[in-house]
């Protein structure tokens, strides 16, 4: 058996939030193991453009000198956020409480991502926010670039129809500036990195079931130091590779094990994956649990994946589709509509690519995918569709295919996982 030990990049979701909250807190925050991928760089540049002193050092370290809740300065030009949907959807919550107008722009892909989900609740709080360009879309949604003018906010009680950590974070951050208690309820609990990090900055929200509440206005105080664990969404590609490659044992070190993020492990275990988790205490960020994940070659079996499970592993769905192709029997995935509004339509990108390499995969309606697994996959030329998770999923599929799977457009991987291809070669 071939044994490989790897370290995966820091968590992208936690990295975004660490920079954002450190910027509007009082005091200096030293962030260790920050993800230096394209999306995080856009967040850093946005806050630098608003007067925050952020210094990036060696070995993924970063020092942020916070300016306080209302210390941001009006940017001299529109804030370009590249392809970062997280920044585009969370940053307006902070800008809502500032005393200036700002414009948020992005690349072509980001400009096609729906923003009505954050705009509606922010308008209820009294924020002047909207799209710069009018759009005539059948779904009647709103798309970037966005213009936002901050000001005095009022607290709201908001009930969301979707489970979205980005939406929840946007509302909670705006609630820090509002008078009174702001709350958001979700149909299913989404990832809770913002709630955990707010606690580190001295503002622990109140949580009742799927409802989260903050009382404003407040001031955030720097915890002094934050250490970001490895990203389980990045680890998912190597967990799956360890399952589908014969004679393989992979140890993935220091991975974040936040309970709202381990859905991919739970699903793969139901598929009879041989996965063990070795938890350990964190020294610098006790609110985010972490540990090592050990995975060995497995005989996967098809399962039914519910909408709630999809919510808990939404970013991992592309690689779970790959795992299902190698599993014996049928896998049904229900409630996958949210995959259509990611960096690309991930249902279209994954179904198109997997069919090209011989997978039996069908979209039975807009919300359900059926995969009859266990068929040999073959080499073919496929596309990333400009999406990092599609690209990495197809590279993993190619590890155990009969013939070479050539994936075009791999630059998008830099968005979240610089060095992915080099690390993948360790498995050969």
> Which residue numbers are catalytic?
315
Query: What would the DSSP string read from start to end of 240-282?
Result: HHHHHSTTEEEEEEEEE--TTTTHHHHHHHHTT-EEEEEEE--
Return d(Cα 67, Cα 378) in angstroms, integer.
55
Contact residues for 170 (Cβ-Cβ < 8 A; gap 6+):
89, 90, 92, 93, 118, 121, 122
CB 144 within 8 Å of CB 111: yes
For residue 235, the surrounding DSSP H or E stretch is helix 232-244
Decide: residue 97, CB within 10 A, 0-12 exposed, 13-18 middle, 19+ buried.
buried
Query: What would the DSSP string read from start to end of 155-203?
Result: --EEE-SS--HHHHHHHHHHHTTSBEEEEEE-SS----HHHHHHHHTT-
Return d(Cα 132, Cα 268) in angstroms, integer.
43
CB 72 within 8 Å of CB 97: no
Q: Strand pairing partners for 333? A: 305, 369
């Amino acid at each position: 058996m071939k044994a490989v030990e790897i370290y995966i990049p820091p968590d992208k979701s936690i990295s975004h939030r660490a920079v954002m909250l450190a910027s509007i807190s009082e005091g200096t925050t030293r962030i260790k193991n920050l993800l230096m991928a394209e999306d995080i760089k856009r967040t850093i540049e946005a806050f630098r453009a608003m007067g925050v002193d952020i210094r990036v050092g060696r070995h993924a370290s970063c020092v942020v000198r916070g300016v306080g809740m209302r210390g941001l300065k009006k940017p001299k030009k529109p804030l370009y956020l590249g392809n970062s949907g997280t920044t585009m959807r969370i940053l307006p919550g902070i800008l809502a409480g500032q005393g200036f107008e700002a414009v948020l722009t992005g690349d072509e892909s980001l400009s096609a991502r729906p923003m009505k989900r954050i705009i509606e609740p922010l308008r209820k709080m009294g924020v002047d926010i909207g799209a710069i360009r009018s759009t005539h879309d059948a779904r009647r949604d709103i798309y970037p670039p966005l213009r936002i003018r901050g000001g005095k906010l009022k607290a709201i009680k908001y009930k969301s129809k979707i489970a979205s950590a980005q939406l929840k974070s946007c509302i909670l951050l705006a609630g820090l500036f509002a008078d009174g208690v702001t709350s958001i309820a979700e149909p299913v609990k989404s990832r809770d990195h913002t709630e955990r990090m707010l606690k580190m900055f001295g503002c622990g929200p109140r949580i009742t079931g799927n409802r989260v509440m903050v009382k404003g206005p407040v001031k955030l105080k720097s915890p002094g130091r934050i250490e970001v664990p490895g990203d389980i969404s990045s680890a998912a590609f190597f967990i799956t590779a360890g399952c589908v490659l014969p004679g393989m044992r992979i140890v993935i070190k220091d991975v974040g094990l936040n309970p709202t993020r381990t859905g991919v492990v739970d699903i793969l275990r139901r598929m009879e994956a041989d996965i063990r988790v070795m938890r350990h205490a964190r020294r610098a960020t006790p609110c985010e649990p972490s540990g090592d994940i050990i995975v060995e070659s497995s005989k996967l079996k098809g399962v039914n994946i519910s909408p709630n499970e999809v919510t808990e592993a939404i970013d991992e769905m592309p690689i779970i589709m790959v795992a299902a192709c190698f599993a014996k029997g049928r896998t049904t995935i229900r409630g996958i509509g949210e995959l259509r509004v990611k960096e690309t339509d991930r249902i279209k990108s994954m179904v198109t690519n997997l069919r090209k390499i011989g997978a039996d995969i069908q979209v039975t309606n807009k919300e359900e995918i059926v995969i009859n697994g266990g068929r040999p996959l073959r080499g073919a030329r496929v596309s990333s569709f400009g999406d990092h998770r599609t690209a990495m999923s197809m590279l993993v599929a190619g590890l155990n295919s009969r013939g070479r799977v050539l994936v075009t457009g791999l630059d998008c991987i830099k968005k979240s996982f610089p060095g992915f291809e080099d690390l993948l070669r360790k498995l050969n």
